[in-house]
Chain A
Amino acid sequence: MHEWSLAEALISKIEEVSSGRTPLHAKVSIGELMEIEVDVLKEALNVLAKERGMDRLTFTINVEETSFKCNSCGLEWKWKEVAKRMAKELEPYQIIDEGEPTTPFHFLPYLAHAILKCPKCGSRDFEIKSGNTAKLLSVVVEE
């Protein structure tokens, strides 16, 4: 479950930015493309925070919509508009996560550039405008 390794990385980052102060609240943004299970991530964050002595730390997790813009023809599109029909094309690139075939974007969202193409002109030259990765947006610490 990538949610646990992601939680581990986020908790380490929260520790780093808190610089010895007590973190109280952290805001996290997750790219829709990663197909992260928010409940599992939240549980992992809570367990790991307690393990590291951050008992009062709470979390807000937002899922950011994934959108793209083609640099060749200018088309803008959203992941949710193409996700269903892409399922078959993603199969050869799946990663086996604890026995279950999983989208490679779950681990490495930037691999979108190797797998996806503009739905209109077929170019691989596109930007991921939003919702591409996991970000720690802010941490509130005790003053």
Chain B
Amino acid sequence: MKIVIFASGKGGVGKSLVSASTAIELKRRGHEVGLLDLDLHGPTQHILFPSSGRPEATREGLKPFLSPQGVKLFSLGYIFKDSPLPIKGKEKYGMVQDLTWLLDWGDIDYLIVDLPPGTGDEHLACIRAFKTASLYLVSLPSLHSISVVHRAYSLFKDEGHNPEGVILNMCWLKIDGRKIYLFGKEYKKVMRERGMEIVAELPFDPLLSKAPLKRSNSGYWRRISKLVAEIIARANRS
């Protein structure tokens, strides 16, 4: 099983959507996929992939849900729904560890891990638990987002877990065939100066807010397909 972690120092950059889209595209390409939402305070995968069912368990462990797209999913949101989870410090470590051994994913080719924003306990616990995972950071192409994501990049690097690079989301909006760069074009230079590789540039697609996981031939999904081909190629090389 290959493990792919999506992280970001910054919130609201579309990390959960990129994780979910990647999982769907991997499944479409014939791989068996699991998606683990490790955002303990603000899980969202249960909103992207709603289910009215109760979580189930067997002797082998806690069973992930199965999405209509065929992706195996687990998010704490399926259990505690809208309640806040003010969990702290070592308990977060404990929760991440519990989830890594408790879930029974069965035979999957890829496990996608969606981390919360920040550079805290969940992040450290996750890279300790998944030592061989490939790690991708997600950022907006704005200068302040890149600056915050660089902090996360440095943390992972210092902990011996070199990120593969950065996925820049919401780079442009296409209106009448013309690309409007929402945060300017300076980001390429800044990324170079910061020593972070751009793995993918994704467009802003207003239709995603209506049907975030409906695969289409849009620019966003074409770019996701290209990103997934790159993730597979890199995973096969490592």
Contact = CB atoms under 8 A, between A and B. Distances in A.
Interface of A: 1-2, 4-5, 9, 92-98, 101-102, 104, 107-111, 113-115, 124-125, 128, 132-133
A97 B102 CA distance: 13
Contacts of B47: none
Interface residues of B, number: 27
B219 interface: no
Contacts of B56: 95-97
Q: Which 5 A-B pairs have the closest CB atoms?
A: A114-B80, A114-B85, A5-B61, A4-B59, A114-B83
A115 B81 CA distance: 11
Interface of B: 54-62, 76, 79-81, 83-87, 91-92, 94-95, 98-99, 101-102, 104
Nearest to B95: A110
Name B's interface SS.
Answer: mixed
A94 B78 CA distance: 11
A94 B54 contact: yes
Contact of A1 (B59, B92, B99): B59
Contact of A96 (B57, B91, B98): B57
B171 to A, nearest CB: 36
B95 to A, nearest CB: 5
B79 A113 contact: no
28 contacts: A5-B60, A5-B61, A92-B81, A95-B54, A95-B79, A97-B58, A98-B57, A102-B57, A104-B79, A107-B57, A107-B98, A108-B76, A108-B95, A108-B98, A110-B91, A110-B98, A111-B76, A111-B79, A111-B80, A113-B87, A113-B91, A114-B76, A114-B83, A114-B84, A115-B83, A124-B86, A125-B86, A132-B94
A9 B58 CA distance: 15
